[in-house]
Amino acid sequence: MKIGAPDKAPSSIAAAVTDFLKAPKMLIGGTSCDGEAGSFDVFNPADGTVLASVPEASEADVDRAVAAAGATMAGTWGSMSGAGRTGLMLKLADLIEENGEELAQLETLENGKSIMMSRLIEVMSSAEYIRYMAGWATKIRGETLDVSIAIPPGTQYTAFTRKEPVGVVAAITPWNFPLNMAVWKIAPALAAGCTVVLKPAEETPLTSLRLVELVREAGFPDGVVNVVTGGGAVGAALVRHPGVNKITFTGSTETGKKIGVQAMQDVKPVTLELGGKAPMVMFDDMDLSLLGPAAGIGIFLNAGQTCCAGARLFIQRGIYKEAVSVLKNIVSSLPIGPGMDPANQINPLVSAKHHAHVKGAIDKGIEDGATPLLSGEAPDAGYFVAPQLFEGAGAQSALMQDEVFGPVATITPFDTEDEVIAMANDVRYGLGASLWSRDINRVMRLVPKVQAGTVWINSHNIPDQNMPFGGFKQSGIGREHGSGALDNFLETKSVCVAYS
Ligand code: ADP
């Protein structure tokens, strides 16, 4: 079913969704299958009920998935032209749109987010992302190189580079943007000519399982995209598998470090997109009418469960009182409730475990001396947390240093540019940041001083497929998006030709 108006609540859960939830299957080598290790439950965060029972992959399932991905790499897929890959990818993008409402509902049911965001971000921007990457499949190119090799005398040389797919890719994804993150990994890998074994987060595997059904329907050869489901152990089995040639991961810094260590042990290329603690720096000369989008998108999008969420606001003294008062009004009026009603802007957190983590971080913030500015109530059923702003958090406190990944931000006043840049950079993360000012001279002066992979000016938390995305410091290694995303999945081979 195609997506209707993004801001309309579904009149009922689509029949295709109800059917799908009865028996979701993994896809290995083009065949739907259960997991050898049994199954596990996926919950609806809006009410805590069980949504579906999902296959739990064994190590042997992981072996079979990697073998299938390797076989087609060496066969049908490996010999397909770039144009052939583009055609299949465009078909997949169309199928995602054609089944968009079903995918959006599945996403809201498993993740909790607003149906409007599921439609716009998870579905529509995923289809656009695949189309963007599909275009690169026919534009892969190397270079010709002049070389100065002098031996043996009389021999001449010319050299060129070829870009070749790295091979079987292990793609491990998080639960905050499940479909979108799967697509961020699969699309450039396919454009580069690689094959993929996808391991979605155990909290939110459903849209990935539905996505690979669409991959099959689009006509990709068997084994090009496989999905295995389960917890961290399944991800770890995939990461250390000798048949995997490249690892791409989005998730927490702690898990990213473990994956990085294993990758280095096996000397495998790895791309890591990890945590963040983004600063939003607001100067006296900013346009205060931007505080609405700053709060709604910059801080509280997806209930703060975004790695670029503006978790630390720094507001210059001259507008401090007024801006804090406006922010308090905006945030306390954000409607809280289930994501199936698009009017609700604060939706549940993804799981009981994460709910406990966010509540714990709020309690610790108060214990450490920070002052909560809001007293909103959250619904009792489900994993809801009312949005919270804090003043007076210590610079080295957990609230200012550690990722909460929930609807929580600190506010700190500042006086000078030097002071605020030092505070903004005083964390181990460096994924996103924003500067809010009408003064172009100030902005251009400060951009090079901000330690972050993306610096937004007068906006925050909005990525684009053409804009490289990734982290400085412990926020990651490598960049996704843009033409550079393909390089993550390509090896460079130098070819040196001697002639006389
Ligand atoms: P969170 O702590 O919020 O659940 P993680 O970073 O641990 O976030 O999870 C992101 C993804 O990494 C999930 O798909 C998860 O199953 C997977 N994962 C967790 N631990 C490991 C591991 N040791 N090796 C590989 N993947 C893992």
Q: For 320-335, write each residue's pLDDT tens digit.
A: 999 999 999 999 999 9
Please list, in sequence order, all residues whose beta carbon lies within 8 angstroms of the beta carbon of residue 367, skipping any fewer than 6 positions away: none
Same domain, 434 and 481: no
Dig out the tokens for 460 from the structure. Answer: 């925050």
> Mean pLDDT across the stretch 222-240?
98
Specify whether 172 is located in the same domain as 136: yes
The whole-angstrom separation of Cα 419 and Cα 284 is 15
DSSP label at residue 35: B
Classify residue 411: in a domain, yes or no. Answer: yes
Query: What is the mean predicted confidence (pLDDT) over 169-196?
Result: 98
Q: Are residues 62 and 137 in the same domain?
A: yes
Q: Measured in angstroms, how far is the CA atom of residue 416 from the centroid of ligand 1?
A: 40
> Residues 284, 270: one domain?
no
Over residues 39-89, the pLDDT tens digits come to 999 999 999 999 999 999 999 999 999 999 999 999 999 999 999 999 999
In tens, the pLDDT along 446-459 reads 999 999 999 999 99
CB atoms within 10 A of CB 164: 17
User: Within this chain, do residues 255 and 320 fall inside the same structural domain, yes or no?
Assistant: no
Q: Are residues 356 and 422 in the same domain?
A: yes
CB atoms within 10 A of CB 91: 18
CATH code where residue 33 lies: 3.40.605.10
Looking at residue 444, its amino acid is M
Query: What confidence category does residue 443 fall into, taking pLDDT thresholds of 50, 70 and 90?
Result: very high
Considering the domain boundaries, does residue 471 fall inside one? Answer: no
Residue 5 lies in a domain: no
Residues 294, 164 within the same domain:
no
184 CA to middle of ligand 1, Å? Answer: 17
Task: State residue 2's pLDDT score.
Answer: 85
Alpha carbon nearest to ligand 1 atom 20, residue: 232
Q: Is 4 a residue whose pLDDT tops 80?
A: no
* pLDDT exceeds cutoff 80 at 115: yes
Q: Is the dihedral of CA 240, 243, 246, 249 positive or negative?
A: negative
CB environment 307-340: b (16+ within 10 A), e (fewer): bbbbbbbbbbeebbeebbebbeebbeebebbbbb
DSSP state of 86: H
For the CA of 201, the nearest atom of ligand 1: 14
Please identify, by atom number, the ligand 1 atom nearest to the C-alpha of residue 262: 24
Residue for token pair 């599921």: 118
56 is catalytic: no
Q: Whose CA is nearest to atom 2 of ligand 1?
A: 252
Same domain, 249 and 293: no
5 pLDDT tier (thresholds 50, 70, 90): confident
Spot the catalytic one: 102, 107, 203, 273. Answer: 273
Residue 393 falls inside a structural domain: yes
Shared-domain flag, residues 270 and 160: yes
Task: Tell me the pairing of strands 432-436 and 454-457.
Answer: parallel
Asked if 135 and 89 count as a contact pair (C-beta separation under 8 A), the reply is no
Co-location of 257 and 324 in the same domain: no
Between the CA of 199 and the centroid of ligand 1 the distance, in Å, is 9
The whole-number pLDDT of residue 211 equals 98
pLDDT of residue 150: 93
Ligand 1 neighbours by CB, cut-off 6 Å: 172-174, 199, 201-202, 231-232, 235-236, 239, 251-252, 255, 258-259
Residue 259 lies in a domain: yes
Residues 487 and 444 in one domain: no
Domain that includes residue 354, residue range: 279-465
Residue 61 contacts residue 25 (beta carbons within 8 Å): no
Closest residue CA from atom 21 of ligand 1: 232
The answer as to whether 124 is a domain residue is: yes
Residue 277 near residue 398 (C-beta atoms within 8 A): no
Provide the domain count of the chain.
2
Q: Is residue 164 part of a domain?
A: yes
The per-residue pLDDT for range 356-409, each reduced to its tens digit, is 999 999 999 999 999 999 999 999 899 999 999 999 999 999 999 999 999 999
pLDDT score for 96: 98
Same domain, 240 and 329: no
Q: What pLDDT, on the 0 to 100 scale, is given for residue 6?
A: 85
Q: How many CB atoms lie within 10 A of CB 341?
A: 16
Residue 72 lies in a domain: yes
What is the best residue among 172, 257, 270 to mutate for testing ligand 1's pocket, by most ligand atoms within 8 Å of CB?
172
